[in-house]
Amino acid sequence: MIRFILAVIFVVTFLLLSYLLYPILWIVGKCNKKTKDYASLRIVQWGFQVVLFISGTKVTVIGKENIPNQATLYVGNHRSFFDILIMCTQYKELMGFVAKDSLGKIPSLRIWMRYIYCLFLDRKDIKQGMKTILQAIEYIKQGVSIAIFPEGTRNNGEELSMLPFKEGSFKIALKTGCPIVPVAINNSAEIFENHLPKLKKTHVVIEYGKPIYPKDLSRDEQKVIGTTCQAIIQETIKKNVELV
């Protein structure tokens, strides 16, 4: 319980002090938008790393050599609030996340998420969801990678089971031709969700699969790319169970 209290204190303090940073980042952005983008990313990554440290989370990364040197669509399984923190801290280049719209209702958090190119998805509003996908496509074209959890929500079931992937998520890659990297995350629910409200010292394994390039797929293969990625991730999760 102490870890949870410390994490809450840090997050609240970070978000409150952020109001002192926003004017500075705004001025920096007026002079050099790229500098502002990377400064925002590094600040957020630092905050996430502190939360992971407080929670006692150790992360083992496999397959980092599979990360392409270009804007990429990362698709992963989703079992914890911590999945975004774990993934975000792994990248040097710009990358945004598609997150549920409720996160956008927290004022200071919303600003940081927009600064690092995150998008908010209302699962109940199909029209708004399409706008989110179109904006993600635009970000890819600008050279910003996007991470998405195609299950659509956190999977509260067994780790070896997964919710069906939503094929619409993959339009981001099919429309831009960017590579798709399957991301398998093991044991992240053990940090928090499996024993609310406690934060538990946990070992998480994250593995990046080999990139899939839409141009190398037939039209029929493109139609089931979500199913293909899900099978890859599920097999990787099973393989890495013994590592956690």
**Under 8 Å between Cβ of 82 and 192:** yes
Buried residues in 96-129 as b, exposed as e (16+ CB within 10 A): bbbbebebbeeebbebbbebbbbbbbeeeeeeeb
Residues of the chain with pLDDT > 70: what percent?
98
Question: Torsion angle, CA of 107/112/116/119, rounded to 10 degrees?
Answer: -20
Q: Which domain holds residue 149?
A: 2-243
pLDDT tens digits for range 11-27: 999 999 999 999 999 99
Task: Give the CATH number, domain containing residue 115.
Answer: 3.40.1130.10
Rounded to the nearest angstrom, the gap between the alpha carbon of residue 150 and the centroid of all alpha carbons in its chain is 11
Residue 116: CB partners within 8 Å, gap ≥ 6?
Answer: 37, 40, 41, 44, 88, 94, 95, 96
Report the range of poorest mean pLDDT among 79-83, 104-108, 142-146, 237-241: 104-108
pLDDT level of residue 107 (50, 70, 90 thresholds): confident
For residue range 125-178, what is the model confidence (pLDDT) as tens digits?
Answer: 777 778 888 999 999 999 999 999 998 777 777 777 888 888 888 999 999 999
Confidence check: pLDDT of 104 > 90? no
Q: Is 151 helix (H, G, I), strand (E, B) or coil?
A: coil
47-59 mean pLDDT: 96
Residue owning tokens 């004022």? 107
Q: State the total domains in the chain.
A: 1
Has residue 103 got a pLDDT over 90?
no
Instruction: Write out the two tokens for 141.
Output: 């074209």
On whether the pTM is more than 0.75, the answer is yes
Rounded to whole angstroms, the Cα distance separating 215 from 174 reads 8
The rounded Cα 47 to chain-centroid distance in angstroms is 15
Mean pLDDT of the chain: 91
